[in-house]
């Protein structure tokens, strides 16, 4: 089975992560695909395969070399984003000839080359798109397909290699992918997540991240008798929100610029709650942003002479760049592997997080490599087949370089 066939098979599994669940994995569909992958790995000849109680798949391919070389790992995640349903995904395979792609005639949903100009670089290539009603799941089923396809090639060809480790994790999309990852059991010297975007991406910088959960306790009184008594929790929420910088939001920032992002908001006169995520690449700016949030809460509470606004501020993950200061050789291996297979490396910061960021702080240095997709988490998601094929080649070339 080639990488395209694998990917089309995997997107048939609904693996939408559930942020409301306290279980791991958060959705039964993740466990279903994990069990399928265990059997597939065994079918292609991988003898050492484990599925643990939390839905993590681990596998090991022993060295066939006499000399000792580093053990390298490859990791992808099983779940898809809850931003849009991953149920009943109906992928479309399109030979792209330029212009717009009609995803869904009945709903008049179009993948526009003007709105998404990256399409123009794939004229003449085969693309896999959605049907306009779900996400596709290239994030990160493409990574899963690429890793397993590379492993199958390795096992069916006479290629010298050191010990190779692979892992597939649940719940990355809801920030829990590394929570129960067993670094000691995985036992790799370093690893790569196949979880990046378009072809050529190589990433070892990501946001420092925190979440800020606000709870506001108002005082509900009949509006006819409310004078000097009512405290409208929803209006207090608006007062807090209006104190945030207007231009430091995702829709107005790019590159290395950080932001505050309001992700949910619910309220009435009696109670209101809302959530911000805080992001910045620079550690000092990250601390400054968190301090500003605390100051906003203090200022609003002072207006009412009581702590009606409660804040739960929690760090989520940190920029892994500082972990690679003395290990840029790991980045160079991936960079050279891309060049060797005809891919131009694009070293860019991750404007988000990755399992690799958490794992790098857990002792497993894990930069991120492209999986090949575009427009993740939505109905305009697509992936060029050639990009997946090149990702397979990059994995094999990394294994070759590590084994020298």
What is the set of active-site residues?
A: 79, 172
Question: Cβ-count burial of 317 within 10 angstroms (0-12 exposed, 13-18 middle, 19+ buried)?
Answer: buried
222 Cβ contact partners less than 8 Å away, ≥ 6 residues apart: none
Query: Which tokens belong to 390?
Result: 């090149």
State the DSSP code for 324: G
**Is residue 349 within 8 Å of residue 205, measured between CB atoms?**
yes
Tokens matching residue 159: 């290629």
Tokens found for residue 79: 């779940």
Q: How far apart are CA 123 and CA 252, in angstroms?
A: 30
User: Angle, nearest 10°, between helix axes 28-43 and 138-155?
Assistant: 20
C-beta separation of 57 from 51 below 8 A: yes
Q: Strand 72-77 relative to strand 164-169: parallel, antiparallel, unpaired?
A: parallel
Cα angle value 120/124/128 (rounded, 5°): 80
Q: How far is 341 from 135, CA to CA, in rounded Å?
A: 30
Q: Two tokens at 145?
A: 């397909």
C-alpha 58/C-alpha 50 separation (Å) is: 5
Question: What is the token pair recorded at 172?
Answer: 């990355």
350 φ/ψ angles, rounded to the nearest 5 degrees: -85, 115
CB 346 within 8 Å of CB 202: yes
Instruction: Determine the Cα–Cα distance for residues 5 and 378; give it in Å rounded to an integer.
Output: 22
Helices (H) and strands (E) in the chain, counts: 9, 17
Beta strands in 257-367 (DSSP E): 259-267, 271-280, 309-317, 346-347
């Amino acid at each position: 089975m080639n990488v395209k066939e694998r990917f089309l098979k995997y997107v048939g599994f609904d693996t939408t992560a559930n942020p409301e669940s306290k279980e791991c994995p958060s959705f039964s569909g993740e466990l279903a695909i994990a069990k399928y992958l265990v059997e597939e790995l065994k079918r292609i000849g991988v003898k050492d395969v484990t599925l643990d109680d939390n839905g993590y798949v681990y596998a090991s391919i022993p060295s066939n070399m006499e000399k000792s070389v580093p053990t390298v790992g490859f990791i992808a995640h099983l779940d898809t984003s809850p931003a849009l349903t991953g149920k009943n995904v109906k992928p479309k395979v399109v030979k792209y000839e330029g212009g717009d792609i009609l995803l869904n005639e009945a709903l008049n949903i179009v993948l526009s080359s003007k709105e998404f100009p990256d399409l123009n670089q794939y004229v003449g290539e085969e693309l896999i798109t959605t049907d306009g009603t779900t996400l596709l799941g290239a994030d990160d089923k493409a990574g899963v397909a690429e890793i397993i396809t590379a492993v199958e090639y390795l096992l069916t060809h006479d290629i010298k290699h050191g010990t190779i480790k692979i892992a597939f994790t649940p719940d990355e999309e809801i920030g829990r992918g590394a929570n129960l990852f067993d670094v000691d059991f995985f036992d790799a010297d370093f690893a790569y997540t196949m979880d990046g975007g378009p072809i050529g991406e190589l990433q070892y910088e990501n946001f420092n991240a925190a979440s800020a959960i606000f709870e506001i306790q108002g005082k509900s009184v009949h509006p006819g008798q409310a004078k000097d008594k009512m405290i409208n929790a929803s209006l207090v929420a608006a007062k807090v929100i209006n104190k945030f910088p207007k231009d430091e939001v995702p829709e107005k920032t790019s590159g290395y610029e950080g932001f505050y992002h309001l992700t949910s908001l619910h309220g009435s006169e009696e109670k209101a709650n809302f959530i911000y995520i805080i992001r910045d690449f620079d550690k000092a700016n990250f601390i400054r942003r968190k301090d500003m949030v605390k100051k906003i809460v203090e200022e609003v509470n002072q207006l009412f002479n009581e702590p009606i606004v409660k804040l739960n501020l929690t760090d989520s993950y940190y920029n892994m760049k500082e972990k690679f200061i003395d290990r840029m050789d790991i980045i160079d291996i991936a960079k050279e592997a891309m060049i060797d297979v005809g891919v131009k490396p694009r070293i860019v910061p991750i404007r988000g997080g990755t399992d690799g960021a958490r794992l790098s702080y857990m002792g497993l240095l894990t930069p991120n490599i492209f999986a090949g997709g575009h427009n993740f988490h939505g109905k305009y998601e697509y992936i060029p087949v050639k990009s997946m094929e090149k990702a397979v080649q990059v994995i094999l070339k990394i294994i070759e370089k590590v084994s020298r």
